[in-house]
Amino acid sequence: MKDNLIIGRYIPGNSFIHRLDPRFKLVAMILFMVLIFMASGWLDYVILTAVILGLIFLSNISLGVYVRGLKPMLIIIVFTVVLQLFFTYQGDVIWSFGPLKLTTDGLLNAVMIFMRFVLVIFISTIVTLTTQPITLTDALENLFSPLRKILPVHEVALMLSIALRFVPTLMEETDKIMDTQRARGVDFSEGNLIDRIKAIIPILIPLFISAFNRAYDLAIAMEARGYRGSEGRTKYRQLKWQRRDTLASIVLIGLMILIIWI
Amino acid sequence: MTTKRFVLLAFLLALLIICAQLTIPILTIPITLQSFAIMMIGLVTRPTEALIVTITYVFIGLLGFPVFAGGSGGFQILLSPSFGFLMSFPLMSVAISSCHHQRPHQLWLSLLCGVAINLTIGWLYFMGYTWWQTGHPVTFLTAFQVTVLPFLPGEGLKLWLAHFVYQRLLHSVRTFHDF
């Protein structure tokens, strides 16, 4: 079980990237995605790769951490690259075997799609490694606040904060339940499919009941402390825009102009 | 919506995140409980609430929170041929929730409705994905064999599991109806 599923993604540090305003980081991440998808020539990719590697350097986090972040996506990357390599029928055929055709265009497309995957994963990983989840939630609430009239922005942000806070607790609860059941003879790693399905039920039912009990207790406690909804509340955690955020914004705008212009 | 309802939604979101990490380790295709949790959310909540939870889940996953199966997350999921399944979660949960509210005693029908939507959207998205990637379409049958057939046994089991767990939850001391 991953006890640090949410908490563990964030790596504490005091780098320039860590100290940027999370709202800027979120918007910048989205804009980087757009740039990566807009990129069409090799020079675009060289520039974007250089910039993202520069950001990785600035974050003071080892490149190995970012490369390990590729692992969950490995199967998808390989699948897509292979799809590009052997099923693109434009361009000169280099090699073929039945319906499989390796072409020059397929080769170029495969390299491009691979670069896209890696760059997108890296830019996403930079944000999650250098920003605490609760801070990202604050940023999301702030960025979505113009939609407050039509969407329950505060309530969803609250929901997200509570969920992130309780994932480690419920994860721990899951481990506890599993250990308890093991102590009473349940084996989670043996038997056929039906046995394994049966073994998971003693985990799920107590887990759901425990979650509902905690939810009820928490709701009562919140109301007892005077929570009545989003109106009329102040904020303890404040996000502050700094000069370095302005500087980073200018650099980002410059990069966008450069990519579009080339 | 009251405080209690939103706190319930928060805990359902947390359960969804956790279930996505729980797998039943079978030799061939590992079965995660992600879609099981979507089914439970559909059964336990109203359609609007189910929509809020599942859209939030997909949204934060795309933003990079590691909440999808295997601790994955990030915008690159959009580039994945299986993103259709994730994309279908809001629709799947709303369908289960709506069916369940209209026909409370036909649990199987509600769950089947949701699973059908999930697999259909995954199927169609995969076809669109391969078309976009290679420039020529793949047949319905081929896409069906890749995206629907291998998942039918697992989905069937999760469907039964959701039915069973829901029935048991109805008899616990404190249920979701208390909220």
B83: closest CA of chain A, how far (Å): 10
pLDDT band at B28 (very low <50, low <70, confident <90, very high): low
Lookup: tokens for B129: 């994905």
pLDDT exceeds 80 at position A90:
no
State residue B83's pLDDT score. Answer: 87
Cβ pairs A/B, distance under 8 A: 200
Give the 3-state secondary structure of residue A97.
strand
Q: Which of A80, A197, A215 is facing B11, going by the closest CB pair?
A: A215
Q: Which of A133, A166, A193 is facing B26, going by the closest CB pair?
A: A193
Highest-pLDDT range among A2-11, A192-201, A219-228, B19-28 = A219-228
Structural domains present in chain B: 3-178 (1.10.1760.20)
Q: Identify the residue among B1, B4, B6 best suited for mutation to test binding to A, counting A beta carbons within 10 A and taking the highest.
A: B6
State residue B168's pLDDT score. Answer: 78
Nearest residue on chain B to A194, judged by CA atoms?
Answer: B157
**Counting beta carbons within 10 angstroms of the beta carbon of residue A15, is it exposed (0 to 12), middle (13 to 18) or buried (19 or more)?**
middle
| pLDDT 10s digits, A107-139 | 777 887 788 778 888 988 888 888 888 888 889
Average pLDDT over residues B115-137: 84
State residue B173's pLDDT score. Answer: 63
CB contact under 8 A, A83 and B10: no
pLDDT exceeds 70 at position A2:
no
Lookup: tokens for A60: 């003071």
| pLDDT 10s digits, B64-123 | 888 888 777 777 777 777 889 888 999 899 999 999 888 788 888 899 899 999 999 998
pLDDT exceeds 70 at position A4:
no
pLDDT exceeds 50 at position A1:
no
Contact A68, A129 (CB under 8 A): no
Contact B86, B56 (CB under 8 A): no
CB contact under 8 A, B79 and A33: no
Which residues in chain A are closer than 8 Å to B24, comparing Cβ atoms? 193, 196-197, 200
Contact B57, B86 (CB under 8 A): no
pLDDT exceeds 70 at position B174:
no
State residue B149's pLDDT score. Answer: 81
Alpha-carbon distances, residue B28 vs A64, A74, A150 (angstroms):
30, 18, 46
State residue A9's pLDDT score. Answer: 61
CB contact under 8 A, A229 and B3: yes
CB contact under 8 A, B21 and A2: yes
Contact A137, A164 (CB under 8 A): yes
C-alpha–C-alpha distance, residues A44 and A48, integer Å? 6
CB contact under 8 A, A80 and B81: yes
